[in-house]
Structure 1
Amino acid sequence: MSASSTLARGLSVADALELSSLAGTRVVAGQSGMGRAIQRLNVMEVPDILPWVKPDELLLTTGYPLRDHPSGMAALVGDLADRGLAALAIKLGRYMDELPGEVLRAADEAGLPILLLPEGVAFDDVLNQLLTDILNRQTATLVRSEEVHRVLVNVVLAGGGLAAITNELPALLRGGVMVTTPDGRVLARSGLDEATVGDPRYFELTSGRFQVERFKHGIRALDDVGPRVAQVPILAGSLDHGRIVLITHERHIDPSDVHLLERAAATAALVITRDLAVAAVESKYQGDFLRDLLAGRVGDPEHAVRHCATLGWDVDRPMVVVVAEMDTEPASPMPAVGDLRPAHERFANAWTMVVRERDPRAAVAGYSQEVVVVMGAAGYADGPGRLVRTMVSQVSGDGGGGRRAFATGISRVVAGPDQIPAAYEQARQAARVGRQMYGVGAVADFDDLGVYRLISLVPEGAELKAFMAETLGDLAVSGDAETDDLRATLEVLLDNNLNVAETARLLHFHYNTLRYRIGKLERMLGPFTTDPHLRLNLMVALRVVRMRGL
């Protein structure tokens, strides 16, 4: 629906019945259509009215054209509903004494309100008051639209950002307003109380993402019963930059609200395009310097600290390096609808937003397939791993973000910029090994890799497979239920340092059953319960089995 038709929406049938000129009017059929909009008025005093009927009209009649053929009125009601008539108001008593039952049934089926006017109502009073009310509403909407336009232009001219837009709109729209990314991550908001932000009907509680997929766009939001949420896409050419969202509690959203959101979305597109152009230049320079820092090419550590400070980064403190590597995907000849920005760009933007919320002085840069974060590590009793996992959850959107899968690696804590290159390699190795161990969405800490770090350094997968086959024998082959069960028994037994009682408890076996299995395993593998070297080989081979892709 166009902006002009949105503005000309008029008033609903239910609202019209509140006017004094329609006092005493009864709705005798078509109750389900009381939300139909009245934009025009017409009077029916000729039998061939259909060619003159327009959508969203209130048709007034005394029944004079149908006085001799009241039975034909049922078919007429269906035709009028098909033409988009808002309602039919009839005044009985002079030409028709009552409406046939089939007429009322036809109106109920079509959802076309039939209004029974009181005897003393004059058509000219109805016409004058309804037209005046419609024009007044349109004028008020235009004035409100002009005020929003003026405010938004001032925001742009003053160089304001998305926060300036959302700060101005709640008073004009009488509701909470926010700007989000295409998948619902909040970029700026105003007028939303904590109860709304914590409402699972609107937001994911763990990530704080607004659930854009649950609500309709634009004028279609008015199709919902009692609409309280409307969102409009922020588009610049073929690029989808996000959504501007209105949430109300004290009133329903009407078509004029959607029109004003469309204006605000156009302004937000200008602001975002401007900010992206500036950020692209800054990101290129920052990304190049961070790459030099990760490669150890920045020279003196004190110079690195000073230069990073000019970029807004603090590297003179305990730090941790985080690497998030996107999983590869098959090339697609056509981008998906709403997915027109490069994936790595959206990925980097998501990480930047999430990291900046927690550490404004962190360094963040996105490259072709990875994002690198150098952030503070002080103040976490159990290390920064839990914080990083929380950020990963937010970036991935808990299943609602629609982003590419990625693996994340976390380095050891380092004390200065000269140690950052080694930390970067640790984080990359943790991401790579974590993906092999845990698959999609893996998050791995370098200090927790243990022997997996050494296994990952073996360049040839064939060598690892040969070692696994020689050490485990028949247990190296997966797919057979009995073999897999025996291998699981062996792994739990070795992990519990050959404690038979504890292993039997964990596996829910009888003690004697486990003793029998141990004997069978020793016949297959050798005396591992008494040979520590064989036991070590078996434990390493089982770790190889755990690593994916081998």
Structure 2
Amino acid sequence: MHASSTLARGLSVAEAMELSSLAGTRVVAGTGGMDRAIRRLNVMEVPDILPWVKPDELLLTTGYPLRNDPHQLATLVRELAARGLAALAVKLGRYVDELPPEMLRAADEVGLPLLRLPDGVAFDDVLNQLLTDILNRQAATLARAEEVHRVLVNVVLAGGGLAAITNELPALLDGGVMVTTPDGRVLARSGLSEETLADPRYFELTSGRFQVERCKHGIRALDDDNARVVQVPVLAGNLDHGRIVLITHERSIDPTDVHVLERAAATAALVITRDLAVAAVEGKYQGDFLRDLLAGRAGDPEHAVRHCATLGWDVDRPLVVVVAEMDAESDTRVPAAGDLRPAHERFASAWTMVVRERDPRAAVAGYSQEVVVVMGADDSVGAPGPGRLVRTMVGQVSGDGGGGRRSFATGVSRIVHKPEQIPAAYEQARQAARVGRQMYGVGAVADFDDLGVYRLISLVPDGAELQAFMTETLGGLAVRGDAEVDDLRTTLEVLLDNNLNVAETARLLHFHYNTLRYRIGKLERMLGPFTTDPHLRLNLMVALRVIQMRGLT
């Protein structure tokens, strides 16, 4: 909605009834339309008023044009409502003694307020006061918008960012303000209480994402009763950079709030565009140096530590490397206009924001299909491993699937203590991400230390060799898709995982003890004496792990 439309909403019929010139006026029908906006005023003194009626008008009449046929007033009410009239004010007694019941019923049906003016009211008094009030309201809105414009211009001229914008707006809007990405990740906020931030109507509790898909945009928010939330898109050309959101404290959203947010959104678009341009240059330089650091080409360790410090990174401490690789697109949809920057840029931006909240001196860089994070780690005795923290960050980046984001696999390295160990940690994280995806599918999170034998299997470069090993070891159990074979293979796997404990395996599989004994005999006839041959058991366990490795069989 354009600002001009916002400013022109005028005052509601209910507000007009509070003016002194309408003192004593009664609403005789159409009370459901008391929130209709009055933007214009007109007087009906001709029978063919309909061609002259404009939307949002308050129409004053004595009923003179219809004095000979007052029953036409019912039809008139419906026609006026169809043309968007705000209300019809009638002065009785001179030409029309009373309003016919069918007219009142019609007004109730269409929600058009019918106002009965007192005998002593003068039309010119009503016209003058209402017009003055409408103009004063628009002037106040313009003055408020001008003040907001002045404040926001000063923010930009002073080099302020999104945080500076959100810090200024709460005092002007009597509410909390935030700037988010298009899918709701909060970039900057001010004036929002902890109670509001924990409100599930607005935010996802696990990720903190503002639920943009549940809130209306712009002037449409005013359609709801007692609306307290409104968002306005932050647009620059065809690019949608996010949302600026107002959540009021103890009042409803009004049209001037929307107009102020529209001004603020234009300023936010300017700031974001500026920051993106700066970040693109800095990110290219930082990304190139981090690539050298990950490849072991950053020079001697002391030089690498000093250079990283100039970039705001601290690599002279216990570190962990995290690699997040985007999964392949599940469809071939064509991005719509305004679909933002490329997916990898959005992905890197999300990771940067989440990591910076926890470790401002971490190194983060995005490449074509992956994001690499080199961040501090707690290696003290008894401290939880870095995997728990990384899983929390993954939840925030993915945002519970909000906004239609791409899925990704994440790998976590071991903790390293020297800068020269970073390249090895990077390879560990990449391997963990790749193996995790093969084991668990899209969206996997895997720690290098937890991969176990899967790590060794993943190092075999020849998939055909693994396939041959699995087929030779499992024989008939290597067949996929046969229900009976799958059932026997599951029995073997559970039995081996429980160290040949027949009673426990029977309990887990809900088999009778003798039934499981029969199945074990059948398996040994197919595979050999694995219950007594430890080497055969090892081969079988590895072959089963190969089957579990997605993408290798």
Q: Trace 1:34-433 onto structure 2 (pairs within 5 A).
A: 34-329=34-329, 334-378=334-378, 381-433=383-435
Structure 1 residues 529 and 347, CA gap change in structure 2 (3 angstroms): same
Equivalent residue, structure 2, for 1:455: 457
SS in 2 for 1:441: coil
- 1:182–1:338 CA contact under 8 A, matched in 2: no
Tell which deviates more after alignment, 390-399 or 20-29.
20-29
- 2:175–2:249 CA contact under 8 A, matched in 1: yes
- 1:53–1:80 CA contact under 8 A, matched in 2: yes
Equivalent residue, structure 1, for 2:518: 516
Out of 437, 448, 457, the residue aligned to residue 439 of structure 2 is 437
Tell which deviates more after alignment, 99-108 or 179-188.
99-108
The alpha-carbon deviation at position 165 of structure 1 amounts to 0.5
The alpha-carbon deviation at position 267 of structure 1 amounts to 0.5
Letter of the structure 1 residue corresponding to residue 321 of structure 2:
V
The normalised TM-score by structure 2 is: 0.97
The alpha-carbon deviation at position 501 of structure 1 amounts to 1.6
Structure 1 residues 400 and 330, CA gap change in structure 2 (3 angstroms): closer
Letter of the structure 2 residue corresponding to residue 492 of structure 1:
V
SS in 1 for 2:210: coil
SS in 2 for 1:233: strand
SS in 2 for 1:54: coil
1-structure distance, mates of 2:543, 2:420: 37
SS in 2 for 1:302: helix
The normalised TM-score by structure 1 is: 0.97
SS in 2 for 1:70: coil
Identity, in percent, stands at 87
2-structure distance, mates of 1:98, 1:512: 96
The alpha-carbon deviation at position 391 of structure 1 amounts to 0.4
2-structure distance, mates of 1:470, 1:68: 104
Q: How many residues align?
A: 550
SS in 1 for 2:320: strand
- 1:233–1:243 CA contact under 8 A, matched in 2: yes
Letter of the structure 1 residue corresponding to residue 466 of structure 2:
L
SS in 2 for 1:250: coil
1-structure distance, mates of 2:540, 2:268: 61
CA-to-partner distance for each residue in 1:307-362, whole Å, 9 max, x for gaps? Answer: 11111111111101000011123795842243231111110000000000000110
Tell which deviates more after alignment, 233-242 or 426-435.
233-242
2-structure distance, mates of 1:64, 1:260: 44
Q: Which runs of 5+ in 2 are unaligned?
A: none
CA-to-partner distance for each residue in 1:488-537, whole Å, 9 max, x for gaps? Answer: 22111111101112222222333223222222222222221111111111
SS in 1 for 2:546: helix
Letter of the structure 1 residue corresponding to residue 399 of structure 2:
G
Letter of the structure 2 residue corresponding to residue 240 of structure 1:
D
2-structure distance, mates of 1:340, 1:5: 27
Tell which deviates more after alignment, 339-348 or 22-31.
22-31
The alpha-carbon deviation at position 133 of structure 1 amounts to 1.2
The alpha-carbon deviation at position 148 of structure 1 amounts to 0.3
CA-to-partner distance for each residue in 1:178-228, whole Å, 9 max, x for gaps? Answer: 111111111111111110011111111111111111111111111222211
Letter of the structure 2 residue corresponding to residue 43 of structure 1:
V
The alpha-carbon deviation at position 379 of structure 1 amounts to 5.6
CA-to-partner distance for each residue in 1:145-177, whole Å, 9 max, x for gaps? Answer: 110011001111111111111111111111111
- 2:379–2:415 CA contact under 8 A, matched in 1: no
Letter of the structure 2 residue corresponding to residue 261 of structure 1:
L
Letter of the structure 2 residue corresponding to residue 516 of structure 1:
Y
Equivalent residue, structure 1, for 2:542: 540
CA RMSD of aligned residues (A): 1.5
2-structure distance, mates of 1:105, 1:523: 89
Structure 1 residues 63 and 181, CA gap change in structure 2 (3 angstroms): same
- 1:222–1:254 CA contact under 8 A, matched in 2: yes
Letter of the structure 1 residue corresponding to residue 40 of structure 2:
R
Out of 478, 481, 484, the residue aligned to residue 479 of structure 1 is 481
1-structure distance, mates of 2:331, 2:345: 16
- 2:41–2:57 CA contact under 8 A, matched in 1: yes
2-structure distance, mates of 1:401, 1:510: 49
Q: Which runs of 5+ in 1 are unaligned?
A: none
CA-to-partner distance for each residue in 1:26-57, whole Å, 9 max, x for gaps? Answer: 22222222111001111111111111111110
SS in 1 for 2:71: helix
2-structure distance, mates of 1:279, 1:445: 31
The alpha-carbon deviation at position 100 of structure 1 amounts to 2.3
SS in 1 for 2:404: coil
SS in 2 for 1:400: helix
CA-to-partner distance for each residue in 1:372-431, whole Å, 9 max, x for gaps? Answer: 000011267121100000001111111113211111000111111100001101110110
Out of 496, 502, 505, the residue aligned to residue 504 of structure 2 is 502
Tell which deviates more after alignment, 262-271 or 99-108.
99-108
- 2:44–2:60 CA contact under 8 A, matched in 1: yes
Letter of the structure 2 residue corresponding to residue 156 of structure 1:
V
2-structure distance, mates of 1:184, 1:136: 37
